[in-house]
Each structure stands twice: as structure tokens, then as C-alpha cells.
Amino acid sequence: MDKKYVPRITSFLCKWCSYTGADLAGTSRLQYPTAIIPIKVMCSSRVDPVFILRAFLKGSDGVLLGGCHPGDCHYETGNYHTRRRFAIVKTVFESLGLEAERIRLSWISASEGPKFARVANEFTETIIAMGENPVKKKIFL
């Protein structure tokens, strides 16, 4: 594998917790790989399972989903829906023979800059170890 290989990890971050946590990681100058490509959503529950699949099929090497800790949701119960949906998406990935390790759900609060950086680093390493998303290559005959 090429050393300079930088995977792409589409990261859906809820505005109230994880996105703020990611900002705090930056403000604290905690370093993590550029693989993390953030997309702000109002609530992690806005993330339709289709988003995850679509991002994946469009070639993202990994998909990260960040929400408030259970019980802390700004919209009261949104992250509970996220949690349930995510469990199903994992199963769907497995049933389709896709690599379920390429998707990850993390609870990152607005104060957890260090956790955001840690998750970003860990997940990027996992993805690098797995290599490029095989779905990325569309093959024509």
C-alpha cells in the first residue's frame, strides 16, 4: 500500500455535540488525520441509513456518525433513533457482504475535543489497515 494513501471518512456530526466537540479539538490544537471530512447535521437522527450507504457507494472508505451521548440529545430522543438505525445498518452491511467495520458510531459530547481526536485517529488507522473501499472500483465489462 502506498504510504501516502489518505482514506476518506465521511463524518456526519450533530450540530449540538459532536460538531462542537470537533471544533474544540481544533481549538485545542489536537491533531488528527485529514481523512475526516465533516458534514454538519442538526441531529444524528437526521442521518438516513441511505446517507451512509450512498456515501459508502460513492467511494468513502469509512463513514463516521457522531451524536450526543445517550440521554443528552438536544432533541430529547434523536440519538436513540440513531442508535437503533445504526444497529440495523450494521446488520445490513454484514448481510450484503460489505465491511461493517467501515462504519462507526461514536457519542462525542461538545466538551470531548480529545475524544473526537482520539476517535478520528483510531478510526483512520482502522480504515488504513483495511485499505481502500473495494466498492470504490466500478467495473465495466
Q: What angle do CA 65, 70, 71 make, to 5 degrees?
A: 140
- 139: exposed, middle or buried (C-beta count within 10 Å: 0-12, 13-18, 19+)? exposed
Closest separation in Å from C-beta 43 to another protein? 4
Closest separation in Å from C-beta 127 to another protein? 13
C-beta of 50 vs 96, nearer to another protein: 50
C-beta of 2 vs 138, nearer to another protein: 138
C-beta of 57 vs 94, nearer to another protein: 57
Which residues in this chain contact another protein in the complex, by CB under 8 A? 6, 8, 10, 15, 17, 19-20, 22-34, 36-43, 45-51, 54-55, 57-60, 71-72, 74-78, 81, 85, 109-115, 117, 133, 136-141
**Per-position DSSP letters for 88-111, written without gaps between them:** HHHHHHHHTT--GGGEEEEE--TT
Q: Pick from 31, 56, 79: which is nearest to 127 by CA?
A: 56
Closest separation in Å from C-beta 110 to another protein? 3
C-beta of 71 vs 131, nearer to another protein: 71
User: With b meaning 16 or more CB within 10 Å and e meaning fewer, what string describes 64-75?
Assistant: bbbbbeeeebee
Closest separation in Å from C-beta 1 to another protein? 16
